[in-house]
Amino acid sequence: MEVASKPRYGPCPKCSAMNMSHRPTCYRCRSTLIACDPQKTSPPRALARGHFGPCRGPNMRRYDREETRIPEVLIEGEVAFRHRATVLDVSLFGMRIRSSTPIRIGAQIRLNLPVEGRSMPVEGTVKHRSAMPDTARPVYVYGIKLNESSPTIRRILSHL
């Protein structure tokens, strides 16, 4: 995965001072800090704008992704060459796709989704990439942030 997985700083639960993630105690009040454990799932709490807390849980999305499988989706844009991929899941503002062709993070791409017998284009940006290790040839899974929620995405979600 090519995304930073552990935050560098987090607030103290007692005094709210920002501490580096490796510290066992708060530098200001000396209280014990909570270790960042992605397996723990606690209810979300309200945080100040731009602040993500000491530990990001497994899913911080505003909209849940619906699992689906849409094969043979044509990908164009800032890619080495046009190729086909499989959509794995979709939400109003994002999707996850699987492809055997590398695409750089930050690339603007256009996906032509087959919806109701027609090819409907949606555009987005590649936000992260991970390689699937247990395959004979390279296979990548990409997180795509859509530029806007389109009627095409709404139609796909309404059929799920």
Q: Examine the domain organization and report whether 72 and 51 are in the same domain.
A: no
Phi and psi, residue 158, nearest 5°: -70, -25
Asked if 80 and 31 sit in the same domain, the reply is no
Look up the domain containing 80 and give its range.
66-158
pLDDT of residue 43: 42
Better pLDDT: 133 or 94:
94
- Check residue 63 and give its pLDDT: 67
What is the domain count for the chain?
Answer: 2
Band (pLDDT 50/70/90 cuts) for residue 33 is confident
Instruction: Using the 3D structure, point to which of 17, 34, 59 is the last residue of a domain.
Output: 59
Are 83 and 141 found together in one domain?
A: yes
Q: Are residues 54 and 92 in the same domain?
A: no
Region 144-157 average pLDDT? 77
- Write the pLDDT tens digit of every residue in 56-109: 445 566 667 778 888 989 999 988 888 999 999 888 888 999 998 889 999 999
The verdict on 72 and 30 lying in the same domain is no
The DSSP string of 51-107 is: ---SS--S---SSPPEEEEEEEEEEEESSSS-EEEEEEEEETTEEEEEESS---TT-
Same domain, 31 and 110: no
Give Dmax over CA atoms of the chain in angstroms. 63
Residues 49 and 105 in one domain: no
Q: Could you tell me if 65 and 55 are in contact, meaning their C-beta atoms sit under 8 angstroms apart?
A: no
- Is the same domain home to 83 and 30? no
Lowest model confidence (mean pLDDT) among 28-37, 43-52, 82-91, 111-120: 43-52
Per the confidence metrics, is the pTM higher than 0.85?
Answer: no
Q: What is the mean pLDDT of residues 130-149?
A: 84
**If you average pLDDT over every residue of the chain, what do you get?**
76
**Alpha-carbon gap, residue 145 to 86, rounded angstroms:** 16
Q: Which residue has the tokens 């040839």?
A: 137
CA-CA distance, 84 to 74, in Å (whole number)?
5
pLDDT: which is higher, 152 or 114: 114
Clarify whether residues 97 and 30 are in a common domain: no
pLDDT band, residue 137 (cuts 50/70/90): confident
* Cα radius of gyration rounded to whole Å, the chain: 19
